Structure formats: structure tokens, C-alpha cells
A and B are shown apart, each in its own frame.
Chain A
Amino acid sequence: AQRVTQPEKLLSVFKGAPVELKCNYSYSGSPELFWYVQYSRQRLQLLLRHISRESIKGFTADLNKGETSFHLKKPFAQEEDSAMYYCALTGRGSARQLTFGSGTQLTVLP
């Protein structure tokens, strides 16, 4: 079974401060990990995926297989980063459906 855990439902940081959204997963094989973001009144959209190893909007996430984690980080948070963030995992099966974490609501304070 695959599972994604986001331990923090709410996270508040001040503008300019570093932010880290935690994500841990459980999967027996080699998963593919994603971070999705949902801004207020907008649809869910992909933020980044671990296989791309890229930085989007200043966010990065490194897959740590030893710790089964995929934490999302940004060195200097901006107010426009306030949103709901979902960590998600997909296996290698033919359907490749996503399993989502419970989400973390990030609020960046001025």
C-alpha cells in the first residue's frame, strides 16, 4: 500500500523566512513524488516533481529514500506563496494514480 503523510495541517511563517513543508511516504517500490499547490480559489496544479530536480518559484524538494521523505523547501518565503500544498506519490503501475497527503496550509505573514 502507498501512503503519504504530511504532519502539519497549518504552517505560518513570516515573509523572508525559510519554510519547510514536511512529507513522508510509504511505498514498497520506487515511487515518483510530487508537490501540488492550490492557491485560493484556483485549481490544483503541479508545483514540482522529484525526477525533474528543478526549482519552481524558488521551491525545491529532494527525495530522501533513506528517510522516505520529500520535504518542500524555500529559503525566503513570499506572501504569494500562501496556499495549500499537497505532497503526492505515484507508483509504477499501469494506472499510475496519485495518492495524496492530507495537505499543509501555508500562510506567509507580512
Chain B
Amino acid sequence: GAVVSQHPSWVICKSGTSVKIECRSLDFQATTMFWYRQFPKQSLMLMATSNEGSKATYEQGVEKDKFLINHASLTLSTLTVTSAHPEDSSFYICSARDRRQGSSPLHFGNGTRLTVT
């Protein structure tokens, strides 16, 4: 089945540094990928929609200059948390849809646990 690989699985960084999270679709191409954030014991909140070859669409309240998204190819989207602060500590999950199947469900990565000290 379709697999989405997310890397790293966990990362600890110091306040003020930047962290990049990669999301790859391994056996399918995705024109659209989605980035979610999940706080402890809460639901997944959509942060932004990543579109291949164009700018990402951010949800209300998500700072685009802080959460940089790049979707350079049909199999890779990256989320960079810039100048990270402790309040950015969270679980970040990406998902992707096979471009050949417009109505197919999303496939999820395993998530990245970010801890900012």
C-alpha cells in the first residue's frame, strides 16, 4: 500500500534554532500534502496545505514565516520550524494523497515529535 515516510521521528532542539521535517511519499506521487499539528490529548489541527510547485496555503492563525513549507517535488514536502520556541514543541504529522486517485483517502506519516528546550 501507499506509504508516507516522515523524518525525523523525533528531534530535540534549542530555542532559537530551526528544524526541518521531511515528508516523502514513497510509492506514489502527491501534488498535495498536508501538515498537521497535534498537542497532547488533542486532535490533529491542520496547519497548511502544501502544493507542489506553488506556495502553501496556511490555515488561519498559522504563521507562514515561522512554519516554512516547501513542496519541491511530487514526492517531497518539507516543514521548517524557524527560530523554534518551547511553545512550538508538539507532534507534527504530514499526509499525502495519491495524485492518480483524486478521491482517495489520505496516507499519513508516522509523525515527528519536536521538543524545543
Contact = CB atoms under 8 A, between A and B. Distances in A.
A86 to B, nearest CB: 7
Contact of A100 (B41, B44, B97): B44
B106 A98 contact: yes
A98 B110 contact: no
A96 interface: yes
Given A95-B32, A97-B49, A98-B34, A45 B44 contact: no
Interface residues of B, number: 21
B73 interface: no
A97 B43 contact: no
Contact of A102 (B43, B97, B105, B111): B43
> Chain A, interface size: which category?
20 to 34
B1 to A, nearest CB: 9
Contacts of A97: 34, 46, 49
B107 to A, nearest CB: 8
Contacts of A11: none
Nearest to A6: B43
A101 interface: yes
